[in-house]
Structure 1
Amino acid sequence: MFNNNNKMSFNRSITKLHLILVFIFTLLVLLAFFFNRTEVSMYERTLHMYSNLSGFYSTLEQSNQNARSYLYSGSVNELNTYNTTIEESRMYATRLYEQADEQTKWKFELLDHMLDMHESSAKASFETMQSRQASDQAVYQQFSEEYELIRSTFTKYYNIVDNQVVLHLKNIKISERYLLGFALCIAGVVIVVLLQYARRSVRFITTPIATIIEHINSIKEGDYDLSKINNRFVEIDTLCLALEDMASKVKQNIQNEQEKVWLQHQLFEQEKENLKKDELLAQSELRMLQNQINPHFLFNTMNIIYKSAQREEAFVTSDIVSKTSEVLRYGLDKANHMSDLKGELESIQSYIYIQEKRFGNRIRFLFEVDEFVPNIPIPGLLIQPLVENAVIHGLKDTTKDGEILIKVSYQDALCICVSDNGIGMESLQLEEQVIQDFKTNHSKSGLGLYNVIQRVKKFYGKGASVSFQSYPDCGFEVCIEIEVEENDYVSFIDN
């Protein structure tokens, strides 16, 4: 290009030079774009592995709960739900195997085999339950052990995915170094060509080029705006725009790296929060174990009292002891398990019998149960705390004419209401009491309403709601409204 024997016009030479520069910078941009797309694709695949790994263990846990519920209740609905969730677990396992690299595929294939064994044990447990074989306990034990074995691999497979992320980041850094070296080599060649060309160029074209080279250093200081270079040529403007585009991509890459670091920090904080919740749950379970008493000793003692009262012809006392035994037995059996609406109402009737003997004419208890109310499953001891709340808080200062109404109705949904004609409270005071229940871990000084709300939300989700209505000196009312499907019950409650 610079041979005197091969002269060309200034326009042709500057056009050829610009074409060469545009080609080089376009090549760099394409390489950078290809590098970004490749690494982002690999990173997204790893993030999908995080999602699929979480989905696998989540659906596996749900399927285990459904299997246990089916073994406990024999519900066909639980069996169908189990089949659905186990298929979802298998789908997640297949995705993990497809997304894993060649070095770790065998580990995820092993996870799929473990899932097969777990599903086979579940089916064996179902078959032994249906045939009522004597070896069902051993089969169920194997089913539980295989589930715990798979669940214990969560940390291991999480580390495998995490190691792949680290490997991808390492490859990104290595590729960046190669790309930077290549870019520097190309830049060096371009500078040499420009210097040779500048020797043969007129002074008015070399001055803007020198100014461009001076402004390139401003990129290192964070100034990505190259539009302030003054010149008289469209070609120089094109060069400035190309440089500015490259600088903007560098800035965008830096921002992307900062966002990745922020997301990793958020993930770490979430893990810390989950560990705190697990610790609180363990402490709660420990407190429950410390507060337990020997139920056999308790019921044997009450049976002795009941028989002694019968022998002494103290029939009222024996009835009170019998009702108390029924209330305590129901509480111990159903405190953390499922019951049904009929069993809950029968337990409340025993509880009311005791309270009527305690308060006499001071408090009157009323039951209103509509006809054809479905006997649906409900968490044990869901309604009794509401009656206790009415006795302890609503009518604590009542000396006569106290009244507590337990009403169960069914139209479009099942509605359970407990109301009293006691002192009531302001809506702001009611909100403060619910918050206090949460802060004090449902202590005896609170209303216990937060516990009822949480149990309803946990069991029914969006299919149920809890509402309160209270005004000073106008009583207090709590209503639980539950949506009922036709397959949620098999019988009705007698009026």
Structure 2
Amino acid sequence: MNGIQRKILTMSAIVLFIMVTIWVVLTYYNQKTQEQYNDILQRYLRMNEVTDRSHQTIIALNDYLQKPSSFKLDTLNQSKESVVLAKLQTSNLRNKDNAFTLTNYIHMIDSLVEAADLSVMFHGQNNGEQSAEKFEEATRIEKYIAETTITLIDKEVRTYDTFYRGIIEQSTELKRLGLWLLSLITIILLLFTYWFSLSITRPIHKLTIAARELSRGRFDKPIEIHSNDEISFLAKTFDRMRVNINNLISEIQQKAQLESELQQSKLLLKESQLRSLQSQINPHFLFNTLDTLSKKAYLEGSEETSDLIANVAGLLRYNLRQLDRAVSLHDELSIILKYTEIQSARFTDRLRFVHEVDEGCLQLQLPCLTLQPIIENAVIHAVEPLEEGGTISLRIYAEEERVMIEIEDDGAGMSEEKIRHILTESGSSEGAGHSTGIGFSNVVKRLRLFVGADDVIDIESAPNCGTKVTIKIPKERRFGGYA
């Protein structure tokens, strides 16, 4: 057993012995007094209970006589039963001082019950006069019972007057004993506390000085504390910590450097992936566009051709910007309009593009090249294969906490398996058709990274029923993968 523990256990044993002794003595006297007091109190309560139940019986009898009913009769019977029960309990209170009075008291209770029964009986026989007389008799008996109860309680008080005085004297003695014991315990605790604190605070003070030196960066000063308890062990442990702290600092620095290098590697990998996506511009799309420009220039040579070339230049410039940057919905809409003008020149009346835009939503941020790949898929699958062409609708509107972007076409649609493949495939360009190469699945992946949640895009489609893509972007983004 070590030093501090031995001191604490010794003091605890002394205090515990004193407290147990005090508790045993006080419990004995308190239990004895409590039993006597409870006995007297029960006598008073039983007598008072007879008065209360007698009064309740008179009330129940009066209610029944005023307006008879089976419920009121049951209440009256219960009241009479409670009076009889109280009588049986009162019979145990007999002593030499109240024997005669208590006997009359019990007889009055019996008379009360009998008068109540007779009153009910006469009332049932439609003999109102006799019933009223018995009710008055029961009322007088109830008053006698109340007066007799007061008389019995008065005799009880005089009988136990000596006991009450003894309780007061005993309480005074117990208070005096408690003060002496409290003083003795206080003195013992003060002496022990001084000795105990002195044996601990001195080594702790030295240990505090050593800790202050360590906080200032002085790891060369040894820690020496001589005592026969746990503080000495603590000082030795503290000294070993001083020896090892330089090694710990070196390890932390090495880990920080490794983490920095790892983070840089992740950033380089992400940049490489984005550049790989950026370089996937489909040559087929460029070929079709340039072919259209060539034919328009040959046939017209007009301003429309110039506008078309400008739109192509703007589209290519937008497609070559960094994909890890967020852009406004206004920019995305602008490039969509350029794209549809180019495709309208290619498909003429076969492409019908309808858009409905809430101007208040155009400052919303979203990943670059989000809408164009979806529109391209709609052109490829809803317009290009069909001789009569198709219609593509773009709708942008706001809800309570999100901005909704709906892109819908009346093309051939797609199967549930294809929809599931697009929403679960990560990073694949499959399903892009002859688009710019930023596949539909890549759009889904970048949207989820941007918003920081999976519930960001829905696809509704069925074979020969068209396709509807709904993008849901929160107005206030809490986290995400873009600046």
Same fold judged by TM-score > 0.5? no
TM-score for both structures, normalised by structure 2? 0.39
TM-score for both structures, normalised by structure 1? 0.38
